[in-house]
Structure 1
Amino acid sequence: MTSAHRGPRTAWRAAPAGLLATPALAWIALFFVAPVGLVFWYSLGRKPGLYQTHANDVLTLDRYREALGDTFMTSFAGTLRIGLAGTALCLAIGLPFAYWLAVKVRPHRRFVVLALVLVPFWTNFLIRTIGWQVVLSPEGFASRALQSLGVTDAPFSMLFTRGAVLLGVVYNYLPMMILPLYVALDRIDGSLREASKDLGANRWRTMAQVTLPLARPGIAAGLLLVFIPLMGDYVTAAVLGGARGTMVGQLVASQFQQAQNWALGSAMAVVLILVIAVTILATALAGAVCTWLLTRRRRSELAGLAEGSPA
């Protein structure tokens, strides 16, 4: 049969395999590679005047030296602490909840629980963050509850502290941790856990040696989905943290919006992107080393059991 007489289905199968990835690659190139490249190009420029945002007539790295000043590094250190702590808290809270949802909840009720997890996404990000501002204020629900319980006599407020920012980011990004964890845990065959228990492993050992290794893709996806946007978040810090909760995202936004210095803001953004990438790579490398060590230890234990077993 000649190519002219091929049917649409036959011609589609004969197309190069990479053709199927073309829409996704075009989307990534248009909405990720091109904007990041533009930000990098702006970071090599300067602010020519009071009423001009940028100019790239003379390429320079001076903006990076300005971006790495004391103000940026102090804010970045605080942002990194909040990012790591918030991601760790989301994992610590989301993992037990996702396990309970995937294993303990009956299948016909899981949809209801998942709907409750997704309820915050039905509300605007800014509105639900402002809601925490109302709750944590001296006249808010938390302060009145503590006073009624006799925990404190004076009004209590967490507003404009890093603790409030941490609480806000955990609340806002926790569903992004729960969903991939639930998908990964739900796909694990329950017979594997039962086999582990039949072989003498208790619940904790089954969790450590069977469930968590099989759920690693979901854990990695959850960590990325939480840590990356959390590091660039500036709405939560601006609403709940004030001056004490300043994060790098606020500095970048202020350079683009208030100072109109796109070159310095772009340099800060590039530095933030690079540090996030380095942090992710370092975490992935540490995880790979830990996995290799655990695998080596397990093989040594199995080898020892094989040598000690009777012929």
Structure 2
Amino acid sequence: MVQRVAASERGARRIRAPRFVMALPAWVWFLCFFTLPVLWIVYYSFGYKPDIYHPIATDKLSLGSYHEAFSRAFVHVFSQTLQISIIGTSLCLLIAFPFAYWLATRVSPRWRGVLLGLVVVPFFVNFLIRTVGWLILLSPAGPVSSLLQRWGLRSEPLHLLQTRGAVQLGVVYNYLALMILPLFVTLDRLDPAMREASKDLGADRVKTFRQITLPLAAPGIVAGLLLVFIPLTGDYITALVLGGAKGNMAGVVVASQFTIAQDWALGAAQAVILIAMIMGTVAVFGLFALAIRTIVRASRRITLPPVAEEAL
């Protein structure tokens, strides 16, 4: 009996031992392809430039690139990028949540796979090609402008390209599916019996949605917000194809410093500032959500008054 127990303990140790080994490839990948490149960009931001395009490498380290990165023109671009990202993420949430809720609660299981497939279909097309499609649609001689003129809604061609509105429309289209999928997964896993129990207890649809569905869907909402906001803030192609000067974003500015201006220090400094802006925005959003959650939980606490003893 003792031998069996010892053998089972050794077997359990053998089963638990490979867990760290199984996680090791992911950590190595994260270290090699994320942490080290970011640290290398930080190093470049202080003025170092390798000897690639010019015969003489620049290796004088200073903070001058950060001082230049905070000029008025670049601050305006970063501010516009943050506005486009926040508005685009909010629009994706407002569009995706009703669709995901309808898909998870109203559509039969037979058709859910078909509709989810239609949501994922755009990802089979290259990101650049999808954006160029909007370039054709929104051009003054494109289908949208032609239909508006044919229906008498406009007397002249529609000029939407090279504007902030075109970029806003493009990012919502390109990242909408990244909001729909996590929301659908979360809403699909909710037990319908909880909503039925809420209705049986006298709650209407609005109250059931506010107190049952929305809190339980919070993990999907947070996942969708992160999946959309982070890549949208660093978007390069959408702003380059549809934006122009009025719809410029930080990703285009950073890329131009590396490719056109050949100012690696300034481009790296702008990239570091962009990463810090993304992390800071996510942190502020997390603290705000945590504060709202704490306030809501505190407001739901009900303190019953002490029961007065009946006089005999």
User: What TM-score does the superposition give when structure 1 sets the normalisation length?
Assistant: 0.91
Root-mean-square deviation over aligned CA pairs: 2.5
Q: Indicate the residue corresponding to 1:159 in structure 2.
A: 161
Distance 2:220 2:62 in 1: 42
Q: Indicate the residue corresponding to 1:268 in structure 2.
A: 270
SS at match of 1:245: coil
The share of aligned pairs that are identical, in percent, is: 51
Question: Are the structure 2 counterparts of residues 51 and 17 from structure 1 closer, same or farther at C-alpha, using a change threshold of 3 Å?
Answer: closer
Distance 2:198 2:272 in 1: 47
Question: Are the structure 2 counterparts of residues 243 and 9 from structure 1 closer, same or farther at C-alpha, using a change threshold of 3 Å?
Answer: farther
1:13-162 map, 5 Å: 13-15=15-17, 17-46=19-48, 51-52=53-54, 55=57, 57-162=59-164
Q: Indicate the residue corresponding to 2:189 in structure 1.
A: 187
- The code of the aligned residue for 2:258 comes to F
Per-residue deviation at 1:10? Answer: 5.3
Per-residue deviation at 1:168? Answer: 0.2
CA contact (8 A) 1:160 1:243 kept: yes
Q: For 2:215, which of 213, 216, 241 is the aligned residue?
A: 213
The structure having more radius of gyration, on CA atoms, is 2
CA contact (8 A) 1:169 1:230 kept: yes
CA contact (8 A) 2:50 2:58 kept: no
Per-residue deviation at 1:58? Answer: 3.1
Question: Are the structure 2 counterparts of residues 297 and 42 from structure 1 closer, same or farther at C-alpha, using a change threshold of 3 Å?
Answer: same
Structure 2 unaligned regions, length at least 5: none
Distance 1:307 1:252 in 2: 65
- The code of the aligned residue for 1:159 comes to L
Mean Cα displacement is larger for which, 53-62 or 210-219?
53-62
Cα deviation digits, residues 97-131 of structure 1 (max 9, x gap) = 11111111111111100000011101110011010
Distance 1:25 1:50 in 2: 30
Q: Indicate the residue corresponding to 1:284 in structure 2.
A: 286
CA contact (8 A) 1:252 1:269 kept: yes
Mean Cα displacement is larger for which, 182-191 or 163-172?
182-191
Question: Are the structure 2 counterparts of residues 54 and 60 from structure 1 closer, same or farther at C-alpha, using a change threshold of 3 Å?
Answer: farther
CA contact (8 A) 1:46 1:54 kept: no
Mean Cα displacement is larger for which, 234-243 or 10-19?
10-19
Structure 1 unaligned regions, length at least 5: none
Distance 1:206 1:307 in 2: 30
Per-residue deviation at 1:133? Answer: 0.7
Distance 2:162 2:50 in 1: 36
Per-residue deviation at 1:33? Answer: 0.6
Distance 2:237 2:18 in 1: 45
Cα deviation digits, residues 159-182 of structure 1 (max 9, x gap) = 111000000000000000000101
Mean Cα displacement is larger for which, 80-89 or 146-155?
146-155
Question: Are the structure 2 counterparts of residues 55 and 180 from structure 1 closer, same or farther at C-alpha, using a change threshold of 3 Å?
Answer: farther
Cα deviation digits, residues 185-205 of structure 1 (max 9, x gap) = 111111111111111111111
CA contact (8 A) 1:54 1:261 kept: no
Distance 1:138 1:90 in 2: 26
Q: Indicate the residue corresponding to 2:258 in structure 1.
A: 256
- The code of the aligned residue for 1:222 comes to G
Distance 1:196 1:19 in 2: 46
CA contact (8 A) 1:47 1:54 kept: no
Per-residue deviation at 1:145? Answer: 1.4
Q: Indicate the residue corresponding to 2:242 in structure 1.
A: 240
Question: Are the structure 2 counterparts of residues 14 and 153 from structure 1 closer, same or farther at C-alpha, using a change threshold of 3 Å?
Answer: closer
- The code of the aligned residue for 1:59 comes to L
Q: Indicate the residue corresponding to 2:201 in structure 1.
A: 199
CA contact (8 A) 1:45 1:55 kept: no
Distance 1:174 1:63 in 2: 35
